[in-house]
């Protein structure tokens, strides 16, 4: 299996993927954690940001025109099966990755916390392509909503593990929790 890290240009926190967390860029932290799990044959950083890269994976340009669902549909069409991970999720760890991969039995599986289905911590498979494409063609844009209405396995996990960085306050909190940095 492969892992695909989705990292678009952030509207809310400019250049967040290259901001420092625990002595490394956020994108390097996420890709390193995935690499160190030793569960993936290949790790791809899928991004619309031509300046973004990570030393732990290869970079593939996301040339889709739309939103996340379009990027995921493209990736399913090209790669068939993969674990999708958000490039701004510094709380993921080997245990969380092990849990979803060990629970995977050939059909799509997602993680949920507090009623939210996390589209960027989901194993996508080719079998999801047709219903997701139909959902998109009918005007659907929310991958989380699609996952919540699909008949796929959902693992309940700690919401803390699925948190992403969207604002400077999120980054400062992650630095405090993960790195022991005191914020002023």
- How is residue 40 written in tokens? 């993936």
Per-residue pLDDT of the chain (184 residues; tens, 9 = 90+): 999 999 988 888 999 999 999 999 999 999 999 999 999 999 999 999 999 999 999 999 999 988 999 999 999 999 999 999 999 999 999 999 999 999 999 999 999 988 899 999 999 999 999 999 999 999 999 999 999 999 899 999 988 999 999 999 999 999 999 998 776 5
* Residue showing tokens 């844009």: 141
CATH class held by domain 2-177: alpha beta
Sheet holding 42-47, edge to edge: 58-61, 42-47, 2-7, 82-86, 116-124, 109-113, 153-156
Domain range summary for the chain, segments of one domain joined by +: 2-177
- DSSP 8-state assignment for residue 67: -
pLDDT score for 183: 63
Measured CA to CA, the distance from residue 73 to residue 129 in angstroms comes to 6
Looking at residue 139, what is its pLDDT?
A: 94
Letter string b/e over residues 40-71, b meaning 16 or more CB atoms within 10 A of that residue's CB: beebbbbbebeebbbebbebeebebeeebbeb
């Amino acid at each position: 299996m492969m892992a695909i890290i989705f990292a678009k240009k952030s509207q809310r926190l400019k250049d967040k993927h290259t901001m420092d967390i625990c002595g490394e860029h956020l994108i390097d932290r996420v890709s390193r954690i995935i690499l160190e799990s030793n569960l993936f044959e290949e790790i791809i950083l899928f991004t619309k940001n031509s300046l973004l890269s990570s030393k732990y994976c290869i970079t593939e340009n996301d040339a889709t025109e739309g939103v996340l669902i379009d990027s995921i549909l493209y990736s399913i069409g090209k790669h068939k099966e993969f674990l999708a991970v958000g490039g701004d999720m510094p709380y993921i760890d080997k245990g969380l990755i092990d849990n979803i991969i060990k629970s995977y039995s050939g059909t799509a599986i997602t993680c949920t916390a507090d009623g939210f289905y996390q589209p960027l911590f989901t194993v996508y498979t080719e079998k999801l392509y047709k219903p997701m494409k139909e959902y998109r063609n009918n005007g659907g844009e929310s991958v989380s909503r699609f996952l919540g209405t699909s008949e796929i396995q959902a693992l309940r996990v700690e919401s803390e593990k699925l948190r992403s960085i969207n604002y400077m306050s999120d980054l400062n909190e992650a630095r405090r929790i993960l790195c022991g940095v005191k914020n002023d």
